[in-house]
Amino acid sequence: ADDGYDLWLRYRPIEARYADAYRTAATEVVVQGSSPTLLAARAELNRGLSGLLGAAPLVSAAPTRDGAVVVGTPASSPLIASLRLPLDKVGPEGFIIRSAQTGGRRVTVVAANSDVGALYGAFRFLQMIQTRQPLERVDVVDAPKVKIRVLNHWDNLDRHVERGYSGQSIWDWWRLPDYKDPRYTDYARANASLGINGTVLNNVNAKADSLTEPYLRKAAAVADVLRPYGMKVYLSARFSAPIEIGGLKTADPQDPQVRAFWKAKADEIYRIIPDFGGFLVKANSEGQPGPGDYKRSHAEGANMLAEAVAPHGGIVMWRAFVYSHELPEDRIKQAYNEFKPLDGQFRDNVIVQVKNGPLDFQPREPFSPLFGATPKTPLMMEFQVTKEYLGFSTHLVYLGAYFEEALKADTWQKGKGSTVAKVVDGRMFGHRLTGMAGVANIGTDRNWAGSIFDQANWYAYGRLAWNPEASSRAIAEEWARQTFSNDPAFVTPVVDMMMKSRETVVNYMTPLGLTHIMGTGHHYGPAPWVSEAGRADWTPVYYHRASPEGIGFDRMKTGSNAIAQYAPQAGKELAADEKNLLWFHRVKWDDKTQSGRTVWDELVVRYTQGVQEVAQMRRTWEGMKPYVDADRYEQVADYLAIQEKEAQWWRDACIAYFQSFSKRPLPAGYAPPA
Ligand code: GCU
């Protein structure tokens, strides 16, 4: 049975008509060096080529024939050192893959400055075969543009995954540290194949327990497995840990005993995990403890932790996802209000982690106005790979297109072309500490991600963390070729379907800038009618504001003025974009939209279109049957049926509800059959 466990590292035999060409181009594996990382590179090439070419390659210490694949660094490999490759261009983690002649033999060299770079290059080489790229005259020079490329697991110590839709946590805390599930190695391989170089093991809603010695030993065991693959382990730190596990009465960052607690804790962690990456912190958000409890700023809180890990080379990723229902302010303005004034106050090993939008991973949000607004503070992007607000694991939504939209957005903070990507990769303000986090969708399901197409979202996150300017379409194509088939009759329609799927979910859930109208708490399915007493900020009716007069949230000057948090030109563009209509504007039901239809009619049309588009996805998938094994074909088909049923549910529920205010008939052609 094909259960999707192998992800995009399937290495199934190449079609007969191409196999010979690849067999001549990859005859022999020569990995010069013997570090655990280089051994992992050798094992992967062995595994990959065996699968793809149908027989294990020769493994030699030096090339003995044409078609040898030579992997290593100038330090590990005299051969690579002798080739004088422009390795100065690829930094500590990049690589060069190049066709070369050596000792009269035609070889392919996979070279890097570090063993991890060489491993990344080995994965890329295999990917080239998996996607059927030619191997004659190869010349690939590539390096990551972002330094910290991490997954954030919202995994609790009891293995429940907050917002997880693919089983339980893969971290088996009970059996750690002595039993290291082989799955951890496959996890590391999958991440290394994308260049993901770190992982935060525990939930941002953290328990202090995770910082106690037994758990640190468990985390160290995981770190041991991940290390050869270039991945560091990080932990979410609970700000009140000095009280809960330190026996102190306070967690005030200005208290000397509290500072001493964190210093000692950091020293202990680094004794147990010498290459520990650092802390991720959610503070003063959704009831979590934080420096604000002591009237201290986020900078004071972050700097205390940063000081503790600094001597060990650690960093602090401090989240800007803060808001409080006790404030009268529009929720989406709060993070900016809180963090913008702190620009310049953070230590240089702190990076502030900002969700792509100012609200919370909605199907569509304008970019967070913090991007580009803090020249002195490095910001890292936080994307949600798990589909909390996008239909969990049964709806097919390719998030590559979503991520790309956020990264391409122009903040205008330094004139035209000041994209979010340039903030994230550090070019905009010359920051060297840069990062991207993806809230993982990984769990114990055999297919890891809850569905086959959700694997693409992990994949796309990793590729965009490596290069925030990469094309999400190209990434989808790479993924589809490796995961399913290289046949253009498969690749073209499936990539088209993936690319459209994001707009489709927006259409059937939250068209025209609607937001946060999902069922409260679980966030599944429509619930625009819900009003939660005392929690406007979690309440659909607060966000859509439908009434007999109209619909939408006025965030212009006449309303909450959230628009003023953007650079003027960016604000102008966002406010004029119909995709954000009801996010920024309150409109009347009969106001005209760009199509010439009224707002009411346009809403009905978009909702209906969303359903029709899912029906189209089902038909597309039916046509893919010849290219896909039965197990994966059937699961995708069944999930698409669920998605269509639920798109219809969204449409019917939202239209019926909003119609109770608009009191208008459905436009011609959209009325239900009599
Ligand atoms: C969302 C999500 C929570 C999560 C929070 C966060 O609100 O629903 O489960 O804890 O984001 O990012 O901290």
Length in residues, the chain = 674
Q: Is 383 in the pocket of ligand 1 (CB under 6 A)?
A: no
Please check the confidence at residue 1 and state whether its pLDDT lies above 90. Answer: no
Q: Is 162 in the pocket of ligand 1 (CB under 6 A)?
A: yes
Contact 39, 118 (CB under 8 A): no
Q: Is 204 in the pocket of ligand 1 (CB under 6 A)?
A: yes
Give catalytic status of residue 477 as yes or no: no
Closest by CA position to 384, among listed 423, 420, 354: 354
Q: Is 659 in the pocket of ligand 1 (CB under 6 A)?
A: no
Other beta carbons within 10 Å of 432: 8
**pTM of this structure:** 0.98
Please check the confidence at residue 53 and state whether its pLDDT lies above 80. Answer: yes
Distance 151 CA to ligand 1 centre (A): 15
Give catalytic status of residue 503 as yes or no: no
Note every long-range contact of 218-221, with CB atoms under 8 Å and residues 24 or more positions apart, other chains counting: 218/171, 218/173, 218/176, 218/177, 219/272, 219/273, 220/177, 220/272, 220/273, 221/176, 221/177, 221/178, 221/180
Q: What pLDDT does residue 674 have?
A: 66
| Tens digits of residue pLDDT in 68-121 | 999 999 999 999 999 999 999 999 999 999 999 999 999 999 999 999 999 999
| Tens digits of residue pLDDT in 324-344 | 888 889 999 999 999 999 999
Taking the CA of residue 204 as reference, the ligand 1 atom at the shortest distance is 13
Q: What pLDDT does residue 207 have?
A: 97
What would the two tokens of residue 40 be?
């992992």
3-state secondary structure 507-555: HHHCHHHCCCCECCCCCCCECCCCCCCCCHHHCHHHHHCCCCCEECCCC
Distance 85 CA to ligand 1 centre (A): 46
Domains of the chain, start order: 16-142 (3.30.379.10), 148-470 (3.20.20.80), 506-662 (3.90.1330.10)
The whole-number average pLDDT for the span 604-622 is 98
Distance 270 CA to ligand 1 centre (A): 29
Q: What pLDDT does residue 478 have?
A: 98
Q: Is 163 in the pocket of ligand 1 (CB under 6 A)?
A: yes
Q: What pLDDT does residue 325 have?
A: 87
Residue among 360, 365, 445, 602 flagged as catalytic: 360
- How would residue 671 be classed by pLDDT, with cut points 50, 70 and 90? confident
Distance CA 212, CA 223 (A): 16
Please check the confidence at residue 591 and state whether its pLDDT lies above 70. Answer: yes
Report DSSP letters for 481-516, one per residue.
HHHT---HHHHHHHHHHHHHHHHHHHHHHSGGG---
The whole-number average pLDDT for the span 247-276 is 98
Distance 525 CA to ligand 1 centre (A): 17
Residue among 286, 293, 573, 652 flagged as catalytic: 286
Q: Is 102 in the pocket of ligand 1 (CB under 6 A)?
A: no
Closest by CA position to 96, among listed 132, 122, 62, 126: 122
The whole-number average pLDDT for the span 258-281 is 98
Using most ligand atoms within 8 A of CB, pick from 322, 360, 543 the residue to mutate for ligand 1. 360
Taking the CA of residue 205 as reference, the ligand 1 atom at the shortest distance is 10
Closest by CA position to 393, among listed 183, 618, 170, 164: 164
Distance 282 CA to ligand 1 centre (A): 10
Please check the confidence at residue 673 and state whether its pLDDT lies above 80. Answer: no
- ipTM of the prediction: 0.98
Please check the confidence at residue 571 and state whether its pLDDT lies above 90. Answer: yes
Distance CA 576, CA 532 (A): 31
Distance CA 84, CA 79 (A): 10
Note every long-range contact of 515-524, with CB atoms under 8 Å and residues 24 or more positions apart, other chains counting: 515/359, 515/362, 515/363, 515/364, 515/365, 515/543, 515/544, 515/582, 515/583, 516/359, 516/360, 516/362, 516/389, 516/540, 516/543, 517/543, 517/544, 517/654, 518/389, 523/163, 523/388, 523/389, 524/391, 524/392
Q: Is 205 in the pocket of ligand 1 (CB under 6 A)?
A: yes
Please check the confidence at residue 559 and state whether its pLDDT lies above 80. Answer: yes
What's the mean pLDDT when you consider all of the chain? 97
Q: What pLDDT does residue 525 have?
A: 97
| Tens digits of residue pLDDT in 455-481 | 999 999 999 999 999 999 999 999 999
| Tens digits of residue pLDDT in 624-636 | 999 999 999 999 9
Give catalytic status of residue 360 as yes or no: yes
Q: Is 355 in the pocket of ligand 1 (CB under 6 A)?
A: no
Nearest CA to ligand 1 atom 1: 360
Q: Is 186 in the pocket of ligand 1 (CB under 6 A)?
A: no
| Tens digits of residue pLDDT in 336-395 | 999 999 999 999 999 999 999 999 999 999 999 999 999 999 999 999 999 999 999 999
| Tens digits of residue pLDDT in 430-443 | 999 999 999 999 99
Residue among 388, 425, 644, 646 flagged as catalytic: 388
Taking the CA of residue 388 as reference, the ligand 1 atom at the shortest distance is 8
Q: What is the DSSP code (8-state) at residue 663?
A: -
Q: What is the DSSP code (8-state) at residue 311?
A: G
Q: Is 360 in the pocket of ligand 1 (CB under 6 A)?
A: yes
Distance 285 CA to ligand 1 centre (A): 9
Distance 523 CA to ligand 1 centre (A): 11
Please check the confidence at residue 237 and state whether its pLDDT lies above 90. Answer: yes
Q: What pLDDT does residue 345 have?
A: 98
The percent of residues in the chain predicted with pLDDT above 70, rounded, is: 100
Q: What is the DSSP code (8-state) at residue 366?
A: P
| Tens digits of residue pLDDT in 304-318 | 999 999 999 999 999
